[in-house]
Amino acid sequence: MDFDLPDIRENVPLKNFTTWKIGGNARLFIEAKSAEVPKILSWANSNGIKAHILGAGSNVLIKDSGIDGLVVRLKDGVSSVKISEKTAFAPAGVRLAQFVNFLAKNGISGFEFLAGIPGTIGGAAFMNAGIGGENKREISDVFDGGILCNLKGEVFEVGADFMEFSHRHSVLHHSSHVLLSAKFRLEEKSSPEEILKKIRKTAKERAAREPKNRKNAGSVFKACGGVPAGLLIDRAGLKGCKIGAAQISRVHANWIENLGGATSSDVEALIKFAKEKVFEKFGVLLEEEVRILG
């Protein structure tokens, strides 16, 4: 394909780029930096090709049939993060773990709650990622604005209000806008040693609550009125339930594990089964947190 863009590959297996290790092929696939996304989307739009943005693949289920379009996988290095006195600027493809550690080494605190979340800046903003409970904290608490573009490749700047953040939700769920970079407020400082100690503690606590099987996508459902979805699924007696090679975790009921060779159909059937059983028992309709693509 002859155009001034990063190399595009054809028929690329997407399971290699998701934490569930599930998914069919992308008809077209490209790995790019966030700054390259506008020209890629402009090209796709002008050629009538539907484009999808993929970060770390940690909160998505890609169908076995794959994606008949262009998948743009974001890859930005932590060296592209810029810090000023009161703000940090990070491209969407930067991994959260790298971002948090980079801030820590610069004596910037207040972002430890992101430790252990296997995603990118863009994915975290898309989902308004964070932690619940007494110490509830989300991306929306530190997000101060961003650079977005539309599917035509037109770039514009927005403030935090534009994002319409709520629990595991942002405006990006129901618009065609793509986050290119985010600006964060820097409000707390401490010694790098103290911050790194908090990061290790947070990551260790998170890991203790999670299945050891890393073939999963984290939380499958959103909390319901402040009640953790995992609690409802557990009380419905669904821990350990299997369909095909997909299983509701015995460790955390809001996680579905790929036991090896699970298909998207297995996972979707298990999601449907969990929703039906929780509704039957509690009259609560669970809402998916993971995105299903394809």
Determine the pLDDT at residue 1. 42
Question: What is the per-residue pLDDT for 13?
Answer: 97
Contact 129, 19 (CB under 8 A): no
Query: How does pLDDT run across 75-98, given as a tens digit for each residue?
Result: 999 999 999 989 999 999 999 999
Q: How confident is the model at residue 203 (pLDDT cuts 50, 70, 90)?
A: confident
Q: Can 219 be counted among the known catalytic residues?
A: yes
Query: How much is the CA Rg of the chain, to the nearest whole Å?
Result: 19
At 258-290, the pLDDT tens digits run 999 999 999 999 999 999 999 999 999 999 999
- DSSP label of 178: E
Contact 148, 111 (CB under 8 A): no
Enclosing domain of residue 249: 229-293
What span, in angstroms and rounded, lies between the C-alpha atoms of 46 and 143? 32
- Residues 108, 94: Cα–Cα separation, whole Å: 17
Please indicate, yes or no, whether residues 107 and 195 belong to a single structural domain of this protein.
Answer: yes
**Per-residue pLDDT at 105:** 94
CATH of the domain at 263: 3.90.78.10
C-alpha to C-alpha distance for 201 and 195, rounded to whole angstroms: 10
How far apart CA 154 and CA 223 sit, in angstroms, is: 35
Q: What angle separates helix 192-209 from helix 96-105, to the nearest 10 degrees?
A: 150
Clarify whether residues 114 and 140 are in a common domain.
Answer: yes
Positive or negative CA dihedral for 283, 289, 290, 291?
Answer: positive
Show which of 21, 40, 74 is a domain's final residue. 74
Q: Which of 219, 249, 257, 264 is catalytic?
A: 219
In a domain, 219, yes or no: no
Report the amino acid identity of residue 186: L
pLDDT at 134: 73
pLDDT exceeds 90 at position 108: yes
Asked if residue 260 lies in contact with residue 245, where contact means CB atoms within 8 angstroms, the answer is yes
Structure tokens at 59: 């909160």
From the candidates 42, 58, 109, 168, give the one annotated as an active-site residue.
168
Into how many domains does the chain fold?
Answer: 3
pLDDT tens sequence across 212-246: 777 999 899 998 888 999 999 999 999 999 999 99
